[in-house]
Amino acid sequence: MIRRDFLLRQFEELGRVLGQILLNLLGLKHNPAASQHIKEAFQTLKDEAALDIDQLLEVPPDKFVQVLQKNNAMNDANLDRFAAILFHIAENTEDKDKATLFYERSLIIYGYLDNSGELYSFDRSYYLEQIRKVLNIT
C-alpha cells in the first residue's frame, strides 16, 4: 500500500511538472522570447523530472518510449503530456534539424499511445495529423 501511494504521488508530481511546462510553452509561436522559454523548459525537465532532452534525442527511435517508461512516473498520461511538450518545442525551434527530431520523437510517443491505448483522443489525433503534415508523412 505504501509503495502504491508513493508511485501515485510520483505520477501526480511528474504530471504537474509536465503540465506546467506545457502551459508555459503554449502560445509561444512567433514569440521572440520563445527560445528562453524552451531553455527554461529543458532545465525544468532536467531538474524536476530527471529528463535530459539532449540525451533523449540521442536515443534510437525504436527504443525511445522504452527509455521514457524506465522512469517509473512516466505513465500514459505523462507520456501524452511529454509528447505535447516536444511538439510545442519543435514548433518554436529555429533549427530545422532539431525541430525535426522533436517532431519525430513526439510522433513516436503519439504513435505508441495510439496503438496501445483503448481510448480515442481528439488531441492526439490532431497532433498526429499536424506532425505528419510537417514531416510530409502520408
Question: DSSP assignment, residue 71?
Answer: S
Distance CA 64, CA 70 (A): 10
Q: Nearest CA to 24 among 77, 72, 68, 81? A: 81
Q: pLDDT tens digits for the chain (138 residues)?
A: 566 676 677 767 777 777 777 767 766 665 667 778 788 888 888 888 888 999 999 999 999 999 999 876 788 988 999 999 999 899 888 899 999 999 999 999 999 999 997 788 898 999 999 999 999 997
- Please give the Cα distance from 127 to 114 (Å, whole number): 11
Count of structural domains within the chain: 1
What is the residue range of 23's domain?
Answer: 2-134
**Separation CA 100–CA 87 (nearest Å):** 10
- How far is it, in rounded angstroms, from Cα 68 to Cα 106? 12
Looking at residue 72, its pLDDT comes to: 65
| Predicted local distance difference test score (pLDDT) of residue 93 | 87
